[in-house]
Structure 1
Amino acid sequence: MIIRNNEINKFGDNYYTRNRKLKLEEYDDNGNLIDTIEFAQGDLWNFYQTKNNNYNDFTIARKKDREHFKGKELVLMKRIMDLVNDYYFGEDTIKDIETIFKEYTVEEIEFALSFKNYAYNESTYNFAMKEYFKIKNMSFYEILKWIKDCKGIYYAVSNDNVKGMAYLEMPTKKQAKYQRQSNSKRIVFLNFRDWKEYIVNETELC
């Protein structure tokens, strides 16, 4: 076995390298192991950074952490790690995700994940300029808190479920009329408590 000699003394162990080894195994055409190269811990960290592009790659987290969440929670955890992009997987990550699961419902988390493209900080809904910038400046955690504190959101939608303009506050009668006449869309209210859509009566708007 060859052990690659790297400047290991200058490298500080961390979550991904502690008590771990990176090995390169070579096999012959019959599947027999013929050589193994063992890399230093500094090389293991470089491998992680290259594979990970400096964001989390859950596939090389520690075994106990990969197996911590099950079922729906595991699916949501991976989506949070993939989409939010401000997570760097470490020893505190499990606690952070657990806190989210304790404070917010599955529906709230799923809506928050689908509400914005967090990599580009853009909402997936079409807001007017003022509301657009309000949403643009909100982090994933702020979106979750907003969902928890808010009753719901309004948006225009067609009969074949194509969404148009969205509104953080109840739209005016003029706005609803415009959506109906110009875009053949009605205004609905998505209730954040039961996650059902309710048609907004245009005559009740101001």
Structure 2
Amino acid sequence: MAYSISRTTRHGWMDVSERILPAPLLKKRIIIETLDERGEVIAASEAAEVDKDSFLALLFAKYGPAFILKELHPKLFSEEEFEYAVELIELEYDLIPSHDNIMEIRALFDAHGHNKVKLAQDMACGMSAWGDGYFMVTPKNPYFRKMFTFEEALEFINKRKGLYYAIDKLGNRRYDFIDEPTKKQITYQQNKNGNQVVFLSFADWKLHKV
């Protein structure tokens, strides 16, 4: 009986074929165990080669690049890097990343650090509480509804020492100044909206009150 395995990507739905899985992944075996009522193994059998490859394709279709990273590169990314590494791989590359693709993402973290990569990825997602665009600014601001690619966002971050914005009492971003605000703007946010203006330093990644 014919069947297909698919995964949704930035290009839409794409077929996952055993033939395009990384060769090292296909060298793995799948053991099926039968357990008794106490959870102890009472029988085990190895999946046939053709069935094993189909299982692996199905696991990739379900978990995506995260499956490849965990199986082939289990210690390449830290826990805090892992989620963003997976998102970047899905954003930047085709359905199944090559070894070189994965090493390029590792190099990004090494060159720029987790926090810059994380912020650049958030900016590239292009959505804020105000709608399109990462920054919450008025229409007169040049960054109003501006959409960034990951590369553009990273370049933007690397040219700055940090970002200025206003937060509410719960610490949520409410308005972005981006550049240093005037005293009048700071006073307006504090008195009119009850917000605190802060500076996110790219040196220590801490919020400093302005």
TM-score, with normalisation over the residues of structure 1?
0.65
How many pairs align?
A: 180
In structure 1, the partner of 2:143 is 131
TM-score, with normalisation over the residues of structure 2?
0.64
Give the conservation status (yes or no) of the 8 Å contact 1:157–1:164.
yes
- Partner of residue 143 from structure 1, selected from 145, 153, 157: 153
Q: CA RMSD in A?
A: 3.5
1:1-206 matches, cutoff 5 A: 12=19, 14-15=21-22, 17-29=25-37, 31-33=41-43, 35-40=45-50, 42-52=53-63, 54-58=64-68, 60-62=70-72, 65-67=73-75, 69=76, 73-84=77-88, 85-86=90-91, 88-112=96-120, 115-116=122-123, 118=125, 121-123=126-128, 127-128=136-137, 129=139, 131-134=143-146, 137-158=147-168, 161-172=171-182, 174-200=184-210
1:99-132 deviation digits (Å, cap 9, x = unpaired): 113311344234445x4483xx424766125524
Structure 2 CA distance for partners of 1:19 and 1:160, relative to 1, 3 Å = closer
Give the unaligned 5+ runs of structure 2. Answer: 4-16
SS at 2:200 equivalent = strand
- Rg comparison, structure with higher value: 1
What's the offset of the Cα at 1:174?
4.9
Give the conservation status (yes or no) of the 8 Å contact 2:18–2:54.
no
Give the unaligned 5+ runs of structure 1. Answer: 1-5, 201-206
Give the conservation status (yes or no) of the 8 Å contact 1:83–1:117.
no
Give identity over the alignment, percent: 21
Give the conservation status (yes or no) of the 8 Å contact 2:136–2:175.
yes
> 2: distance between equivalents of 1:22 and 1:34?
10
